[in-house]
Amino acid sequence: MTYQLPDEHIQALLEAAIAAPSMHNTQPWRFDVEGHVIDIYLDGSRTLPAEDPTGRAMRIATGAATFNLRCAAEALGYGTWFGLAPYPEEPDLLARIVVEPAGHPNSELRDLAAEIPKRHTDRNPSGTAPVNQRVRVALILAAYAEGAELSWLTDTDIDAVRDMVLDTDLREIHDWHRSAERAHWVGGARTTDGVPSSALGPRSTTYPAVVRDLATSPADRMRGASAFEGQPQLAILSTKHDEPSDQVAAGVALERILLTATREDVSASFLNQPLEYDDLRRKVQRLTGEPGHAHMIIRFGHAHAATGTGRRPVADFLPRDPE
């Protein structure tokens, strides 16, 4: 007989999973729980056809949710093992997590579970204190533990990223499809999905900025401005290959990095706009000096002023009972 997870544990595991980051807070995942096996699927109704036409960002987000679920299971005393993209003939099934009543405890994942509710994308200025070398190495190791690479950028590389951000903005000026899609997900007082105005952080007093300004509405575009750090601390998250399962793995690594950063009191936000264009994505990867495929540009710092974003109720992510 297979082990049946108690309902309150299923609820806790899925609440942890859906706290993961996702582009524009689309929460593009679905879950199916059978006994002690949890399958995580892409939700094809939560796509971003203009900004994420291939579904890369959806797969990264789902990887992040997978990592949270593993951490939460460890915190409840379970062990876990998991497989990414287990069946090629079922492309929407991105990960299968087996929750074991008597597993081998992983104390690192158990400790990181405590950081899940504290982690938020922080788009505020970060101040000038550098992220120290010990933490930089801890974040590299967090990526490595999940089969990905985190490369810290030099000052020259950071200037190159700034140029690419400017290039992206120019490409987007007349892209009404992108602006309309963003307006659908960003701004206003959102409580269950999307990015509310309260999470946008201030505008930057300088341009091009080292933070992505997601504002679309006139009110958000006119919000208060602050000076951001002149020399941001940027790192690139990459994987060696770029199959769908590599993109899910990048998301697993992303969340391990973000929870490790949260535990170290280090804030994070994303400057992913160049990665949405294939030619610029290749240029970004070249900055790392390694072969591979870039998935995230992360700005680390010491901001600590982020307000959270909402989530839908857990029941929304489970199969509906037949009427």
Ligand X SMILES: Cc1cc2nc3c(=O)[nH]c(=O)nc-3n(C[C@H](O)[C@H](O)[C@H](O)COP(=O)(O)O)c2cc1C
| Contact positions vs ligand X (CB under 6 A) | 21-25, 57, 60-61, 120-121, 123, 195, 212, 214, 269-270, 272-273, 308-309
Residue 270 CB coordination number (10 Å): 18
Cβ-based nearer residue to ligand X, 161 or 195: 195
User: Which 8-state DSSP code applies to residue 5?
Assistant: -
| Token reading at 110 | 């158990």
CA-based diameter of the chain, in Å?
62
Task: State in angstroms the smallest separation of the CB of 20 from ligand X.
Answer: 7
In whole angstroms, the minimum distance from the beta carbon of 277 to ligand X comes to: 13
C-beta of 234: minimal distance to ligand X in Å? 13
Neighbours of 196 (CB within 10 A): 19
Instruction: Identify the DSSP state of 188.
Output: S
Residue (95 or 99) nearer to ligand X, CB: 95
| Closer Cβ to ligand X, 99 or 262, answer by number | 262
Please state the closest distance from residue 122 (CB atom) to ligand X, in A.
8
The HSE-up count of residue 150 (CA atoms within 13 Å, CB side) is: 27
Residue nearest ligand X by beta-carbon distance = 21
Q: Which residue has the tokens 């790392």?
A: 288
Instruction: Give 9 or 190: the residue with its C-beta nearer to ligand X.
Output: 190
DSSP letters, 64-88, are: HHHHHHHHHHHHTT-EEEEEES--T
Spatial distance between the Cα atoms of 142 and 261, rounded to a whole number of angstroms: 10
Using CA atoms of 39, 119, 145, 63 in order, give the dihedral in degrees to the nearest 10: 30
Closest CA to 48 of 28, 66, 64, 18: 28
| Minimum CB distance to ligand X smaller for 110 or for 190 | 190
Least distance from ligand X to the Cβ atom of residue 98, Å: 25
Tell me whether residue 5 or residue 210 sits nearer to ligand X (CB atom): 210
Nearest to 303 by CA among 121, 128, 127, 134: 127
CB of 302 to ligand X, least distance (A): 17
Q: Output 75 or 186, the one with its CB closest to ligand X.
A: 186
